[in-house]
Amino acid sequence: MTCPICKKPAHPDYRPFCSRRCADVDLGRWLSGSYAVPSDDPEDAERAAEELTRQPTKPH
């Protein structure tokens, strides 16, 4: 088994990674990756709601 981050042999304590550093790198990637996907939806919904409230402009 090799470390998916740096391709070095994995350490039994940090499988499948070679070190805690690489495990942290992967965790960070995973967190930022999973964060980016769902956070797109609320942002879009917020934008859509903002546009909806903006659209009915009251004629003066």
What residues line the site for Zn ion (CB under 5 A)? 3, 5-6, 8, 18, 22
Least separation in angstroms between CB 34 and Zn ion: 21
Tokens 């304590």 belong to: 13
Task: Identify which of residues 6 and 45 has a Cβ nearer to Zn ion in the complex.
Answer: 6
Judge residue 11's burial from the number of C-beta atoms within 10 Å of its C-beta, 0-12 exposed, 13-18 middle, 19 or more buried. Answer: middle
Task: Identify which of residues 1 and 45 has a Cβ nearer to Zn ion in the complex.
Answer: 1
Least separation in angstroms between CB 6 and Zn ion: 4
Q: How far is residue 41's CA from residue 60's CA, in Å, rounded to a whole number? A: 35
